[in-house]
Structure 1
Amino acid sequence: MVLDSGLQSGPANNAIDRHYLDLHAQGACPDQLRFYRSLPSASVGRHQIIDRELRIDYCRSNDIALVRRLSGGGAIYLDPRQLGWSLILKRPHTWRQLGLEQLLALFSRALAKGLKRLGISARYAYPNDLEIEGRKIATLFAASEAESLLLQGTLLLDADIRTMLEALRVPTEKLSPDGLSAARERLITVKECLGKIPDLEKIQAAIIHGLSTGLRLQFGGRTKGSGAHIPQCDALAEESAAAHQIDWREDRTSALESLWKTPGGTLRARAVFDGEGKRIEWIEIGGDIHLDPGDLLCKLQRALQGLPIAHTQQCMVDFFRDNGVDTLGFGAQDVVRLLHILLDKLSLRRDVQLSSKQLNALMIYSQQAVSARQILNQASVMLVPYCAKPAWCKWRTRDGCTECGLCEVGEAYRLARERGMQVTTVTHYEHLVATLSDMKARDVGAYIGMCCSSFFIKRHRAFLQAGMPALLMDISGSNCYELKQEELAYAGQFQAQAQLDTEVLHQVIKFVPRAG
């Protein structure tokens, strides 16, 4: 059966998907393909922390609805310029052994066949996109309930790039492999490919052809408008509430946070420990990740709460083994690493005079799970971002500092000099890559540095390729990501000034041995 529910609000489209997936899992409705479009909406994946992914205040002030999908993955912006569809079907016997990665690849290639009929040549890009010469034109997601599959997709007919970047807490670097191209150069639309947007029925027919031939499915006739379930007010209210199921704006002053970047997305955790630091009282895990079944993180959280810390690692390994978890681009060891970082900060809290908020500003990177204390004990280099120097400083875009005492950078240089550390002001992105490469060649054991968390996540490849353990301190104030000026920043031309937290620096650098 093929439905066309037309233009609906984001919460309504979510509610429709939820309604039909529940019915289908109960055997109460047939397989179906539904086409739709959305009024302006910001949609987060099932496991994402909403305030880390969306500019909530901007969305509310501009009547952009907030929704949480049934499927995982990253945040997307939806509006009438996109065509969406949801395919609900019983998992065919031939798909029983297919994991999320294989399903998304199969779904993407089927869609590519359909677009070919329109004269658009797109290719599957891991993990869940369709691209044309590196430019994204469609995104796909998957979820399941019992034996029922929900395969979702959105096709860019046209794009409102400005609103997209304002609504999503996604800098243009996220949309650009080299961080230097504009977001418009990372996306491509049907209109740009064909010079116009074909009639929607023609586009739908192409998609139906691709899905039917690529997935070997048969679709019946179409039903428009009233053929689709129209959600009631209470269902819409539930969808709006569900959007905030994972929202870290809630005040938990003692909670410690960690993040760990994986090929499948960024994992995040937040936890509260008992007064003696021996048990987990409460924990929440999320991220822009794909996993199946979708409720497994909630089950894992329940398994960890109240558990002695000494038993947590084995608990997670056993949980992933016993529950048949299907993950895309990450595994049990990544979640273990995420918890290790939390426990590392818990250990640091006993010896430093820092609040949980300040500890949460520390980003620990180590492929070998080296602790923060070990990193600091081995650190011989400090990297400082040029954007922390005042705009009027003649040394702002140069490596070096006169330690004049008029900004925090001078204090960082002084503290590093006392410990015989090499200090480098990173003046642009290519300079960072070259500096890390030189450090790796000199067998630098570890280093400390400062950067915003957005940079750490989006440019993680540079830290990964360097391979050296690092303790990085988040910077505050005017950063290029919030101001959406990261292209200027990467080129060394950002004008605003960020701030270093010298209190945090004083507390952590005391673990770095003094020179001599």
Structure 2
Amino acid sequence: MKTPGARSQWTDFNWQLVHPQPLQPLQHMALDQVLLDEVAAGRRPPTLRIWEWAAPAVVIGIFQSLKNEVDAHAAEAHGIQVVRRISGGGAMFVEPGNTITYSIYAPLSLVEGMSFKDAYAYMDDFVLQALDDAGIKAWYQPLNDITSEAGKIGGAAQARRGGAVLHHVTMAYDIDAVKMLQVLRIGREKLSDKGTTSAAKRVDPLRSQTGLSRESLIQKMIDVFRQRNGLQESTLTPTELATANRLIEEKFGTFSWISKVP
């Protein structure tokens, strides 16, 4: 019996894996809220969700300024949708097949008493092992970056509500650095002081560091998670999908949400 207020262990839970077909960016945003709320309410066991993207997107954090982060004209020209998520962190540039994105939805007791710095690293430790198994020496760069000697691999974000924690990560498997710098304003400031070459080096895709396919890397991540914590196949329920669609109409697809911070 876990002592009230004590930290839970990964193996205290019956973890579920959700890895559906490619979804639209707005569906991903809404599902993060839905599944976080479902775990918080005890209607869904703690869950690992692997994202597949049906379309390119720029995903900005809940506190980020739309105009400061995104060149709207460039995004429109490239057919890239801009969406806003419920967690903090920085902007993500994603294209189908070029990123590895996942979310973990867990009771808050899993990170009870941890600092945000420690909680981020703790939630992603299984990924560092999977990358190591793939021959990539990666580590956590506080607060929320996964990096290697070749450069940044990905970034994490979290949201906590209703007694549950959402932790998600996007890692660059491959990247179109030119397009990214055209669409992300912050990318220009951080990366383009020496042109596109330095941008590509700073955000270094996993593809350049391993001979493994994207699918093989994802499978390694799943395998490590399952070996450590147990993991059962699951699916999104009709109710979860219907709730996500409603939230797209009422919240995530609205201009007021996307421009929440102008």
Fold shared per TM-score above 0.5 = yes
Tell me, in whole angstroms, the C-alpha distance in 2 between the residues paired with 1:220 and 1:129.
28
The 3-state SS of whatever aligns with 1:221 is strand
Q: What is the aligned partner in structure 2 of residue 100 from structure 1?
A: 116
For residues 207-222 of structure 1, the aligned pairs below 5 Å read: 207-211=221-225, 217-222=229-234
Q: Please, which of 106, 125, 128 is the counterpart of residue 109 of structure 1?
A: 125
Deviations 1:222-250 (A, max 9, x none): 54x87894356543232122221111xxx
Deviations 1:158-214 (A, max 9, x none): 1111221111112445137xx43620111211211123525x1x323322344457x
Give the CA deviation at 1:130: 1.0
Give the CA deviation at 1:35: 0.5
Using a 3 Å threshold, how does the CA distance of structure 1 residues 151 and 119 change in structure 2: closer, same or farther?
same
Q: Is the CA contact 1:172–1:182 (under 8 Å) kept in the aligned structure 2?
A: no
Where in structure 2 are there 5+ consecutive unaligned residues? Answer: 1-15
Q: Please, which of 214, 223, 241 is the counterpart of residue 230 of structure 1?
A: 241
Tell me, in whole angstroms, the C-alpha distance in 2 between the residues paired with 1:67 and 1:157.
21
For residues 80-479 of structure 1, the aligned pairs below 5 Å read: 80=96, 81-92=98-109, 95-133=111-149, 135-175=151-191, 179-180=193-194, 182-198=198-214, 200=215, 202-211=216-225, 217-223=229-235, 229-231=240-242, 233-237=245-249, 238-241=251-254, 242-247=257-262
Amino acid at match of 1:78: V
Using a 3 Å threshold, how does the CA distance of structure 1 residues 188 and 218 change in structure 2: closer, same or farther?
same
Larger radius of gyration: 1
Amino acid at match of 1:127: L
Q: Is the CA contact 1:46–1:72 (under 8 Å) kept in the aligned structure 2?
A: yes
User: Larger deviation: 21-30 or 80-89?
Assistant: 21-30
Q: Please, which of 61, 67, 82 is the counterpart of residue 83 of structure 2?
A: 67
The 3-state SS of whatever aligns with 2:165 is strand
The 3-state SS of whatever aligns with 1:103 is helix
Q: What is the aligned partner in structure 1 of residue 56 from structure 2?
A: 40
Q: What value does the CA root-mean-square deviation take over the aligned residues?
A: 2.4
Tell me, in whole angstroms, the C-alpha distance in 2 between the residues paired with 1:171 and 1:205.
30
Amino acid at match of 2:117: E
Amino acid at match of 1:113: Q
Tell me, in whole angstroms, the C-alpha distance in 2 between the residues paired with 1:31 and 1:8.
21
The answer to whether 1:16 aligns with 2:31 is yes
Q: Is the CA contact 2:174–2:207 (under 8 Å) kept in the aligned structure 1?
A: yes
The TM-score normalised by the length of structure 1 is 0.43
Using a 3 Å threshold, how does the CA distance of structure 1 residues 220 and 228 change in structure 2: closer, same or farther?
farther
Amino acid at match of 2:221: I
Q: Is the CA contact 2:75–2:81 (under 8 Å) kept in the aligned structure 1?
A: yes
The 3-state SS of whatever aligns with 2:52 is strand
Higher helix share: 2
Amino acid at match of 1:26: A
Amino acid at match of 2:41: Q
Q: Is the CA contact 1:115–1:122 (under 8 Å) kept in the aligned structure 2?
A: yes
Amino acid at match of 2:102: W
Q: Is the CA contact 2:89–2:156 (under 8 Å) kept in the aligned structure 1?
A: no
The answer to whether 1:2 aligns with 2:34 is no
Tell me, in whole angstroms, the C-alpha distance in 1 between the residues paired with 2:159 and 2:172.
21
Amino acid at match of 1:163: K
Where in structure 1 are there 5+ consecutive unaligned residues? Answer: 248-516
Q: Is the CA contact 2:144–2:157 (under 8 Å) kept in the aligned structure 1?
A: yes
The 3-state SS of whatever aligns with 2:30 is helix
Q: Is the CA contact 1:3–1:227 (under 8 Å) kept in the aligned structure 2?
A: no
The TM-score normalised by the length of structure 2 is 0.82
The answer to whether 1:79 aligns with 2:95 is yes
Tell me, in whole angstroms, the C-alpha distance in 1 between the residues paired with 2:83 and 2:230.
31
Amino acid at match of 2:206: V
Using a 3 Å threshold, how does the CA distance of structure 1 residues 233 and 33 change in structure 2: closer, same or farther?
closer
The 3-state SS of whatever aligns with 1:7 is coil
